[in-house]
Every structure is written in structure tokens, then in C-alpha cells.
């Protein structure tokens, strides 16, 4: 592969040679004004979106994005990316949505309509909230708040910040934002906003054990939503009332749970249905417990499968579009070559122009061949990696689900121990599904890399497992390539996950060392170990080996039954 700087130099030389062969000025293809065509595609995509045909809508938005010139038409480019990201959000693909909307960030400075910038920041804030990155969720809502937009949009941004604070269990700080909002005339006029605001205030007071204030705001929110017949909003208020009465009045709490579940079922809100089912199961017994547990398990499996198919479909649409663009680029290259051949015939100095044209053709062919090949391999690798990760997660989740189903069907759930075990199993399934987006978050590889690496490793440090790090801070990580830092992060994460699942280790040591041209890592644990001569690399260790080999590194695994597990890793700086 040609280094980027050399590749850029070849492109400049080629371009200068191309100009030297021309007798008249020509306009490059990428300066073509495509605004009318882009807006036509956006109109088609909007129509599909309104009819809830999200895959077709995403396809046409993506098509519009690829022909849109972000420098000449930044408004349509940014707004199209916003719509694509929102579609991915609707399918709970928050990581994919973040990846899409991030493409808009470099062009926000060219956008004159602040509404598009506001939408970008709000969308990013929502993605970070749903991937548990509360710091960035607040940051991007604050950026939206600072824009020159309408007062109502500023109130929305403030409300979003308070919602993040609730998720972060900072209830007093949330109330400091919520309470002034209920006096704003813009909020009072918007009944949906007003009802949700009252409901959230009541939830904060519930969490702070201020029962009188909590009930006052929850009932007022309920009254507003009943007048507007807001089914989804009523579902949330009923859920909060159920939580309020759960300890002191279980029968009334159960009534509100069932009302909430009914409302969320009517509006097909699967995430909230799962939350309510979990609450209902916790307050059920005997046959009712078994019935709701079965519904919960089937719903988790169904939601995961549907959303994973949607994620794969969106990834395929983007992959196919990039592939098509590369093929069109090849066709344009051949067209340029043919035009140069015709131009050559018109020149008097035939020999000189033949040499120039041959040189140009070779450079163009080399540049576009290597660029196209590199992009194609990168796109295919990304697509295959996403599919592999999705299959791995689904298989693991399905395994837990069917074990729990078998337990629920074959055990007497009136026995306290069996009921407790079932609840623990369901909670584990719920936690695994919510951790999916967080687990695949992008890895920070800048100057904060060491901090996040330590934070990841410390997450495996429990009362039963003692983790010892040595030499991590002696290495200048800023001098190491980003790809290698990400690979090392994933490899150590994989080893620690395998240790937690299989080894029963109580002591883990990780030693970092820098030699003249290499980084060396020694991993040791005192777990039960394995027989290396009989070991078949499972998916986790296979991923570790593949990742290290991909960065031209070496890996050696040394273990024996009851002798612990050792891994030596070495890769060039």
C-alpha cells in the first residue's frame, strides 16, 4: 500500500500532467451542481419515512448523501445525515447512529441554518445517553443550548440535560433545571412537554423519598396526559406511579404496572414493555410469574433479532453505496484516459505528448487501483466484523434465554429459591441486552488512552480477583499507532473476559515493557489453566491471536491444568 503522503504527491503530479495536456480549461466532475438531484432523492426518502418504511428511506437518504457536495450544499448534507442517524436510533443502533452523525461534524461550520446544527448536537446527545456516556450526553446538549435558536428549543435542550442527570442518579441537580421550566409559557402551551416535565419532577421526588411532593406532581402529570390522551406518556406516568406505590401499596402498584404495560403495548414501545415486565415479574408469583416470565423471554429474543437485522441492513446499504461509488470512480477514470488519448492526436509534438499520456495513464491507474483496493478491503472488513460481532452476541444471548426458559418450565416457581433464581436469570438477560451498545463503544486512542485502558482493566478488579499492573506508565503511548493501541485494548479486554468466565483466578498480573523496537506484555493468572496440547482455540482466544497477527505481532500461550494461564504478546512500535 502506498503511504498517504506519497499517494497525495502522485495525485498532484498526475493532476499537473493532466493540465499540461489540455488546450482549454475543463471542470472536474466533482464540481457538478447536484443540489436539485439531492433534493429529489430527499423528497423520496421523506415519503418512505412518513410511511414508516425505514429501510427504503435510509437507502435514499444514503444515496442523496453520496452525491451531495458537503462544501457547496452543506445544509442538505448535514440534514440528510441527521435523518439517517435518527432512523438508526429508532432501531436502537446507537453506535451506528453516532458513526453516521459524526460525519456531519466537520461541515457544521459551513451551515447557515442553526436548526441543522441543533439537530446534530441533540442526536449526538441522545446517542451518548443511550450508550451510558453521560458526560458527553450533557456536553452536546449544552452545545445545542448555546446556539442561536428559538427559546423553545433552548428549553428542550435544558430538559434533555435534566433527563441525563436523572439517568446518572443526580436527582437534586435535575430538579434545579426542571422546576423553573414548568413556569415557562412555551412549556405550558405544549401539553406533551408539560405532562412529561411534571412526570419527571414526580419521579425525582420519588427517588428522593419526598412522597408528598412526588404524588402531587405525578397526579398532576397524569391529569394533563389523560386530557390529551397521550398513550405513551400515560404509560410512563403509570410506571412511575407503580414505582411510587410498590413498597407501601402493592395492589395499587400492580394495577398501575398493568395499565402501563397495556399502554406501551398499544404504541408498540418494546423497551418500556421490557421494563414493565421486569417490574411485574418482581411482584408476581406462581402461574402468573411463569406466564409473564415467558412473555419477557420471548420479547427479548424477538426485539434483539429484529433490531440486529435492521442494523445489518443499514450496514449493507452503506457498504453497497461505497462499492458503487468506487465502481463509478473507475468508469470516470477510464473516461479521462480516453479523452486524453483523443487530445493527444491534436498535438503537433506527438512523441512528447505520447510520453506524457503514458505516464499519466500509469499514475492514474496505479493511484485508483490501490485506492480502490484499499477502500474495498476496509469496507468488506468492517462489514464482516460487524456481522461476526452481531452473531457472537446473539448466540450468547440466545444460550442464556433458552436455559432460563427451561428453568421456568421445569421448576416449581412457588418455591422461594426457584423464584429468586429465575429473577436473577432474567436480570442477567436484561443486563446483557442493555450492555450490547456500551460494549461496542469506540475506544479512545488519544492522550487519554492510558486512563481509559486503566479504567477498563480496573473494571475486572473485584473482591475475589486482585489485578496487578506493572510498567503501563513507563511507555510513551502517544508514539504508538492508533490501530495498535485499539488492538491491545481489545486483546486485554478479551483475556480478562475469558479469565472471568473460565479460569476462577484470584490473582492476575499484567506487565508492560518497552524494548528497543517492540512493546512486550506478559499476562499471568493463577486460575485453573488448560492443557495447551489439547486446547482448541475458541472464539475469544482466536480473536486475540488474529488481532495480534494483524498488527505484525507475536503471541505465545503457556498453560497447564492447575498451573494458571500465561500469555506473552509482542508487537513492533
3-class SS string, 418-437: HHHHHHHHHHHHHHHHHHHH
User: Which residues of the chain, if any, have pLDDT below 70?
Assistant: 1-32, 304-311, 313-316, 318-341, 343-345, 347, 374-400, 402, 427-428, 430-443, 535-540
pLDDT at 417: 85
pLDDT at 321: 59
pLDDT at 383: 53
**Residues in a beta bridge with 525:** 508, 565
> How many other C-beta atoms are found inside a 10 Å radius of the C-beta of residue 570?
16
pLDDT at 16: 36
Which residue ranges form the domains of the chain, and what is each CATH number? 36-149 (1.25.40.10), 284-338+389-441 (no CATH), 449-572 (3.30.565.10)
- Residue 86 near residue 97, CB atoms below 8 Å: yes
> How many other C-beta atoms are found inside a 10 Å radius of the C-beta of residue 46?
14
How far apart, in whole angstroms, are the C-alpha atoms of residue 296 and residue 290? 10
In the 8-state DSSP scheme, what is residue 110?
G
**φ, ψ of residue 28 in degrees (nearest 5):** -60, 155
pLDDT at 90: 85
Taking alpha carbons only, the member of 512, 507, 468, 506 closest to residue 489 is: 512
Taking alpha carbons only, the member of 496, 482, 515 closest to residue 454 is: 496
pLDDT at 20: 39
How far apart, in whole angstroms, are the C-alpha atoms of residue 88 and residue 386? 15
Whose cell is 456516556? That residue is: 133
pLDDT at 399: 66
Whose cell is 422546576? That residue is: 179
How far apart, in whole angstroms, are the C-alpha atoms of residue 95 and residue 98? 5
Q: In what order do the strands lie in the sheet with 565-572?
A: 466-470, 507-514, 518-525, 565-572, 554-559
Instruction: Report strand pairing: 565-572 vs 554-559.
Output: antiparallel
- Residue 284 near residue 247, CB atoms below 8 Å: no
Q: CB under 8 Å, gap of 24 or more: what pairs does 419-426 form?
A: 419/285, 419/289, 422/289, 422/293, 423/281, 423/282, 425/400, 426/278, 426/281, 426/293, 426/296, 426/297
Number of residues assigned to the chain: 573
How far apart, in whole angstroms, are the C-alpha atoms of residue 170 and residue 162? 9
Please return the burial class of 94, using the count of CB atoms within 10 Å of its CB with bins 0-12, 13-18 and 19+. Answer: buried
Q: What angle do CA 311, 316, 319 make, to 5 degrees?
A: 130
pLDDT at 404: 77
Distance spanning both ends of the chain, measured CA to CA: 19
Record the cell numbers describing residue 93, joined without a space: 443502533
pTM: 0.52
**φ, ψ of residue 132 in degrees (nearest 5):** 65, 20
Amino acid at each position: 500500500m502506498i503511504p498517504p503522503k506519497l499517494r497525495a504527491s502522485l495525485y498532484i503530479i498526475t493532476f499537473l500532467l493532466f493540465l499540461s495536456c489540455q488546450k482549454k480549461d475543463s471542470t472536474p466532475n466533482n464540481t457538478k451542481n447536484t443540489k436539485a438531484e439531492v433534493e429529489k432523492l430527499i423528497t423520496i426518502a421523506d415519503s418512505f419515512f412518513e410511511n414508516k418504511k425505514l429501510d427504503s428511506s435510509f437507502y435514499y437518504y444514503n444515496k442523496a448523501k453520496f452525491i451531495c457536495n458537503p462544501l457547496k450544499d452543506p445544509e442538505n448534507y448535514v440534514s440528510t445525515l441527521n435523518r439517517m442517524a435518527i432512523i438508526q436510533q429508532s432501531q436502537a443502533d446507537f453506535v451506528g447512529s453516532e458513526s453516521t452523525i459524526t460525519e456531519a461534524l466537520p461541515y457544521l461550520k459551513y451551515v447557515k441554518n442553526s436548526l441543522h446544527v441543533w439537530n446534530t448536537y441533540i442526536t449526538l446527545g441522545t446517542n451518548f445517553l443511550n450508550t451510558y456516556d453521560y458526560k458527553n450526553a450533557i456536553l452536546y446538549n449544552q452545545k445545542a443550548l448555546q446556539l442561536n435558536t428559538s427559546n423553545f428549543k433552548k428549553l428542550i435542550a435544558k430538559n434533555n440535560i435534566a433527563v441525563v442527570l436523572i439517568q446518572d442518579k443526580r436527582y437534586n441537580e435535575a430538579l434545579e433545571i426542571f422546576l423553573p421550566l414548568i413556569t415557562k409559557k412555551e412549556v405550558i402551551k405544549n401539553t406533551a412537554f408539560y405532562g412529561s416535565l411534571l412526570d419527571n419532577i414526580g419521579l425525582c421526588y420519588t427517588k428522593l423519598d419526598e412522597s408528598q411532593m412526588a404524588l402531587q406532581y405525578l397526579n398532576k402529570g397524569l391529569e394533563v396526559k389523560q386530557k390529551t390522551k397521550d398513550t405513551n406518556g400515560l404509560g410512563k406516568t403509570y410506571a412511575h406511579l407503580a414505582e411510587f406505590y410498590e413498597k407501601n401499596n402493592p395492589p395499587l402498584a400492580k394495577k398501575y404496572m398493568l395499565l402501563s404495560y397495556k399502554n406501551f403495548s398499544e404504541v408498540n414501545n418494546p423497551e418500556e414493555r421490557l421494563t414493565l415486565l421486569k417490574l411485574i415479574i418482581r411482584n408476581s408469583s406462581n402461574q402468573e410469574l411463569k406466564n409473564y416470565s415467558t412473555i419477557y423471554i420471548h420479547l427479548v429474543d424477538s426485539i434483539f433479532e429484529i433490531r440486529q437485522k435492521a442494523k445489518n441492513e443499514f450496514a449493507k446499504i452503506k457498504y453497497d453505496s461505497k462499492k458503487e461509488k468506487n465502481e463509478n470512480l473507475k468508469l470516470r477514470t477510464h473516461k479521462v484516459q480516453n479523452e486524453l488519448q483523443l487530445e493527444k492526436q491534436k498535438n503537433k509534438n506527438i512523441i512528447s505528448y505520447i510520453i506524457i499520456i503514458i505516464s499519466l495513464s500509469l499514475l492514474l491507474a496505479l493511484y485508483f487501483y490501490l485506492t480502490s483496493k484499499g477502500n474495498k478491503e476496509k469496507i468488506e472488513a468492517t462489514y464482516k466484523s460487524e456481522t461476526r460481532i452481531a452473531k457472537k452476541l446473539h448466540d450468547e444471548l440466545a444460550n442464556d434465554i433458552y436455559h432460563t426458559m427451561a428453568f421456568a418450565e421445569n421448576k416449581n416457581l412457588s418455591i422461594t429459591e426457584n423464584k429468586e433464581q429465575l429473577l436473577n436469570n432474567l436480570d442477567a438477560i436484561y443486563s446483557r441486552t442493555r450492555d450490547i451498545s456500551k460494549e461496542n463503544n469506540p475506544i479512545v486512542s488519544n492522550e487519554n488512552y492510558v486512563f481509559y485502558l486503566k479504567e477498563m482493566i480496573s473494571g475486572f478488579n473485584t473482591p475475589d480477583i486482585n489485578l496487578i499492573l506493572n510498567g503501563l506508565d513507563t511507555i510513551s503511548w502517544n508514539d504508538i499507532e492508533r490501530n495498535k493501541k485499539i488492538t491491545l485494548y481489545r486483546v486485554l479486554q478479551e483475556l480478562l473476559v475469558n479469565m472471568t468466565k473460565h479460569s476462577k483466578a484470584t490473582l492476575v498480573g499484567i506487565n508492560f515493557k518497552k524494548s528497543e523496537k517492540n512493546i512486550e506484555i506478559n499476562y499471568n493468572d493463577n486460575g485453573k489453566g488448560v492443557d495447551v496440547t489439547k486446547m482448541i482455540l475458541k472464539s475469544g482466544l482466536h480473536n486475540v491471536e488474529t488481532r495480534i497477527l494483524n498488527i505484525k505481532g507475536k503471541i505465545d500461550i503457556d498453560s497447564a491444568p492447575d498451573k494458571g494461564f500465561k500469555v506473552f504478546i509482542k508487537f513492533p512500535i
